[in-house]
């Protein structure tokens, strides 16, 4: 099937609603091994929907428009040459090419004219450059303020658990290395959002039989794919992003709130641990600030957004350390934990460290002495395989996990959600 036939079929299915077919570009990309650019796709949708119903499939329609477009891409510069009998002004050109003026800025415009008054012809050339958006604290805080003040949690239609007698159990849910915003063949904002919500809901359902008194939701560990407007990690490594940083930040904040609200359906208390990663070290601190403001008057929800990169949870005979795992010197964790949590380290029976970073599951046991042992778990991820991981041949299982902790007996169950 050709692109033209695919677009016409979708127009028929949607009563020739071009606006709706515009939003189906990702579906189009999945159906074609060599899809056209999004601007070209939208232009063809507009072309094939310009006439009534089935008439649009007649070849003569293409000839009647008298429009032809030649496009060139060179890094952050996009040039278009349009021959048309109606595109005359910069505004016409932007409309015809369906340019997103939030991303692109017209820097050069040239127009040529020939023909007669009854048969005018125009050729225009436009040169667009990608806008450089400055990342500053004021913009971020305004985005947080807007998201927190306007967001109304969506009520998820799930069965409300009857929690007459809660147990001495806590369920730990880990959303690790989601890389929200990553652009790859099998991954997008919508896919990442859907996977996060489905996994948390599924793990909450599985662990509900233990009737937890609290759900411990661990966010961060490269929740976001990039840390700034330059689409790089915190250290400056370039990444492939699917959209503008403002959109990923705001929708990512909405997703975090939705996950907290989902957890509240299954437990009376929710505690959130914000663990910064090497991709989103700054962004996750901002997310933590926004969540603290969102739940400032909700005592049942606690947000741990302290400046310490490692977060701890002490519960009965258990001490759990949460860290991304990319900074600590190998073999130093027992010493670090004993210094940062001396009282709990001396009194608890079960000590574990939960890390991310590697996107695959791994478990090791550190023997301090015959009485003290620390289990380190590297947790798997739901993220799709990007260009770098695919080129390296990494094929780890995509999954998320939940741990059930009992105050006396430690870890008594592990649940998994697989893709």
- pLDDT (mean) for 11-38: 82
- Whether the pLDDT of residue 302 is over 90: the answer is yes
Count each helix (H run) and each strand (E run) in the chain, helices first.
Answer: 13, 15
Residues β-bridged to residue 411:
405
Compute the CA torsion angle 172, 177, 180, 183 (nearest 10 deg).
-150
- CA of 262: how far to CAs of 153, 154, 198, in Å? 9, 9, 10
Read off the DSSP letter of residue 109: E
- What pLDDT does residue 66 have? 55
The confidence band for 365, taking pLDDT boundaries of 50, 70 and 90, is: confident
Q: In what order do the strands lie in the sheet with 318-322?
A: 311-315, 318-322, 350-355, 373-378, 362-367
| Ramachandran angles phi, psi of 260, nearest 5° | -60, -45
Helix, coil or strand: residue 221? coil
Q: Residue 124: name the closest of 70, 76, 161 by CA.
A: 70
- pLDDT (mean) for 21-40: 82
- What pLDDT does residue 99 have? 87
| Most confident range, picked from 295-304, 324-333, 352-361 | 295-304
313/350 Cα distance (integer angstroms): 12
290/294 Cα distance (integer angstroms): 6
- pLDDT (mean) for 33-40: 80
- The answer for 82, left when phi > 0, alpha when psi is -120 to 50, beta otherwise, is beta
| Ramachandran angles phi, psi of 96, nearest 5° | -65, -40
Segment 152-202, tens digit of pLDDT: 555 545 445 554 445 789 999 999 999 999 988 788 899 999 999 999 999
- pLDDT (mean) for 292-313: 94
Mean of per-residue pLDDT scores for the chain: 84
137-418 topology per CATH: Purple Acid Phosphatase; chain A, domain 2 (3.60.21)
- What pLDDT does residue 393 have? 59
With helix as H, strand as E and coil as C, how does 153-179 read? CCCCCCCCCCCCCCCCEEEEEECCCCC
User: What's this model's pTM, rounded to 2 decimal places?
Assistant: 0.63
Segment 63-93, tens digit of pLDDT: 434 578 888 877 778 888 888 777 888 898 8
In total, the chain counts a number of residues equal to: 419
Segment 199-252, tens digit of pLDDT: 999 999 999 999 999 999 999 999 999 998 888 999 999 888 888 888 999 999
Segment 127-148, tens digit of pLDDT: 998 877 555 566 666 666 666 6
- What pLDDT does residue 69 have? 84
239/225 Cα distance (integer angstroms): 7
- Whether the pLDDT of residue 61 is over 90: the answer is no
Q: For 93, what's the count of Cα atoms within 13 Å in the CB-facing half-sphere?
A: 27
The confidence band for 332, taking pLDDT boundaries of 50, 70 and 90, is: confident
The neighbour count for residue 193, using CB atoms within 10 Å, is: 18
- Whether the pLDDT of residue 96 is over 90: the answer is no
| CA-atom Rg of the chain in angstroms | 26
Q: Which residue has the tokens 């893709």?
A: 419
- Measured at the CA of 241, the angle between CA 35 and CA 28, to 5 degrees, comes to 25
- pLDDT (mean) for 104-117: 82
- Whether the pLDDT of residue 123 is over 80: the answer is yes
**Residue extents of the structural domains in the chain:** 1-65, 66-132, 137-418
- The region of weakest confidence among 85-94, 153-162, 358-367, 408-417 is 153-162
- What pLDDT does residue 59 have? 40
- pLDDT (mean) for 328-332: 83
- What pLDDT does residue 312 have? 97
| Most confident range, picked from 53-57, 234-238, 371-375 | 234-238
């Amino acid at each position: 099937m050709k692109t033209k036939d695919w677009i016409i079929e979708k127009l028929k299915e949607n009563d020739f609603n071009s606006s709706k077919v515009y939003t189906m570009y990702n579906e189009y990309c999945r159906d074609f091994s060599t899809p056209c650019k999004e601007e070209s796709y939208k232009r063809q949708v507009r072309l094939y929907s310009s006439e009534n119903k089935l008439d649009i499939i007649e070849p003569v329609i293409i000839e009647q428009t008298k429009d032809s477009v030649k496009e060139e891409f060179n890094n952050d510069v996009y040039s278009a040459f349009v021959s048309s009998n109606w595109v005359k002004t910069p505004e016409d050109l932007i409309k015809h090419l369906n340019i997103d003026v939030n991303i692109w800025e017209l820097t050069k415009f040239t127009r040529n004219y020939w023909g007669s008054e009854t048969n005018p012809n125009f050729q225009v050339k436009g040169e667009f450059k990608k806008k450089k958006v400055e990342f500053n604290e004021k913009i971020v805080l305004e985005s947080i303020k807007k998201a927190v003040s306007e967001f109304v949690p969506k009520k998820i239609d799930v069965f409300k658990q009857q929690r007459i007698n809660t147990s001495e159990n806590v369920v730990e849910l880990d959303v690790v290395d989601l890389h929200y915003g990553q652009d790859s063949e099998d991954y997008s904002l919508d896919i990442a959002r859907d996977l996060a919500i489905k996994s948390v809901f599924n793990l909450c359902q599985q662990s509900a039989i233990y009737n937890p008194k609290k759900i411990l939701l661990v966010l961060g560990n490269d929740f976001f794919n990039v840390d700034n407007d330059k689409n790089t990690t915190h250290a400056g490594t370039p990444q492939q992003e699917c959209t503008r940083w403002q959109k990923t930040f705001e929708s990512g904040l909405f997703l975090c709130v939705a996950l907290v609200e989902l957890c509240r359906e299954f437990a009376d208390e929710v505690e959130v641990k914000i663990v910064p990663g090497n991709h989103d070290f700054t962004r996750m601190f901002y997310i933590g600030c926004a969540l603290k403001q969102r739940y400032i008057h909700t005592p049942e929800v606690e947000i741990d957004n302290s400046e310490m990169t490692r977060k701890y949870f002490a519960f009965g005979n258990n001490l759990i350390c949460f860290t991304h795992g990319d900074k600590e010197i190998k073999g130093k964790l027992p010493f670090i934990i004993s210094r940062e949590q001396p009282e709990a380290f001396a009194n608890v029976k079960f000590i574990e460290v939960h890390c991310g970073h590697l996107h695959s599951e791994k478990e090791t046991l550190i023997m301090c002495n015959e009485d003290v042992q620390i289990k380190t778990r590297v947790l798997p991820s739901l993220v799709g395989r990007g260009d770098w991981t695919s080129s390296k041949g990494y094929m780890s299982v995509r999954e998320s996990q939940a741990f059930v902790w009992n105050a006396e007996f430690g870890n008594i169950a592990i649940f998994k959600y697989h893709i």
